[in-house]
Structure 1
Amino acid sequence: MKRYFVMPYLITLLLASVYGVYAFFANDWEFAWLGLTLSCLPMLLFIIRLGISGKARTREHLYSELLVGAVFALAVWVSGHKDLAGLVFLLSVVGVYLYDFWYSDLSRVLSPRLGKGEILPDLRFTTIDGEDFHTKNAVDRPAIFMFIRGNWCPLCVAQVHEIAQSYRRLEDMGASVFVISPQAQEQSQKLAADLNAPLTLLTDKDGESAKKLGVWQYGGVPAGVVGYDVDTNWPTVIVTMPKGKIIYSAQYSNYRVRPEPDQFIEVLEKYLDDGADVSNDTKVAPSAE
């Protein structure tokens, strides 16, 4: 059901904003109609900025957008347009609340297979060149496995670019980086061409390996996104030592909250330096500005 929410909501906000401007001029500059447009703008701008900013994470909750919506709903109500105030409240308070606390929540359960000290099982993927790849052939050195949703997700793409910028640091540590998605090889090839580092991009056909690890999301691709299957990965980062021993996993429940690269790179550095005991990450993430 969630996959049918965000695109219609975005279109409705856009149409309401445009109509508010039209009605404002058509009704002798009546404030209530301008209030409709202004109440929709914060959420519209947030979603647009999410898509084009190139940042891998946002604030955990959208309290300021909720406050703006509530203020404008009250102002329109006070101006005497009670029906219009109801529409403002629906779009800019109820809509924002649903996006923030319902749609953004992946409702995921932490996978016990990714607990600290667990051994990563042998997983099979396909490289962007169409060759078979088994993780058992890559556990002779530290590794970072990043499960992303696909090129359609701007936060995922930004997260991959972040880790690419840290590639030299990881290479000096002897670590390999694998970026895994269920998307077609052609899509991963496009992503690889945009990177400034030789990360290994892998395709997990039908999410077979993601399902084994418990990081598969059914119905996770929003309706209206063309060229991708309905199901996808939960955004997940796994760090392993040689022989596949897991020392860190980030399994956040809010898709807009992702770990900073320094978080898991520092964990790896500590293990390589002195074998420090670093706790596994949890799904409860701090707010990210």
Structure 2
Amino acid sequence: MQLTQEWDKTFAKSDKVDHKKITFTNRYGITLAGDLYQPKNASAKLAAIVVCGPFGAVKEQASGLYAQTMAERGFVTLAFDASYTGESSGEPRNVASPDINTEDVSAAVDALGLQPSVDRERIGVIGICGWGGMALNAVALDKRVKAVVASTMYDMTRVMSKGYNDSVTLEQRTRGLEQLSAQRWVDAENGAPAYQPPYNELRGGEAQFMVDYHDYYSTTRGHHPRAVNSGNSWTITTPLSFMNMPILTYIAEISPRPVLFIHGESAHSRYFSETAYAAAAQPKELMIIPEASHTDLYDRVDVIPFDKLTTFFTQYLATAARAA
């Protein structure tokens, strides 16, 4: 692993926080790279937040912006690259797994809880986009986490197995699995996986949300050379591990810990948060941001409800401390 030491984020560095890179290992032995943000001149042990996502992004993009901003507001935060992506280890590159990526979240909790500045009884999680679903799955499993936020959430197992708005028929699903199964022969014969076409290149006629993705990942606004979504690609067979794996089956088991869903009113993905909210148990809240699109919640600091995030974690991580 070679960690870049210069500031190469898609957002400006804050003079209100201290930043350093750390590495930690998940349960599968994969070493992950993270950015740790801490309020300057903090003395007492602080509440802490793991921040992850979007799916196909790196810690230098949206998750880092969320993490740095929440550190400005008094929390120790950790944004990290998922296994097989960014500066984290794992071969082959740019492959995803709902199981391994769920474990990545808990490994980040491990890493935060070992920091001397962190009160390990006061740890929360923010998952963005596809990592919103991963975060919810991880918190349902990991009872150490006291509160969770899913921002502009995707359920990646649902969208890969059923398509947008659950539109994929059984015939289409079967045909897709036949193609992925055949690709395994190709990869086995070549001794290495083949990759999908580069992500977020526009050819004309795309849906508005694809144009929005391009505007974030492929322009100076949010492009980062290590991000899968910034002109790189996943392996062709990446969807296989998602096809039979509904990660939100046990979402109600997050309770009695609180969950907050945040989504844009105009987002194509809004239905993911709405159905997940319906399946979750109390205490829960669904916050819809007027007129906001899916990607507005990646980096539009005037749209992302940081005041709400601060209030939510201040309240519930303080409550967790008292309960502990």
TM-score (norm 2): 0.26
Higher strand proportion? 2
TM-score (norm 1): 0.28
Higher helix proportion? 1
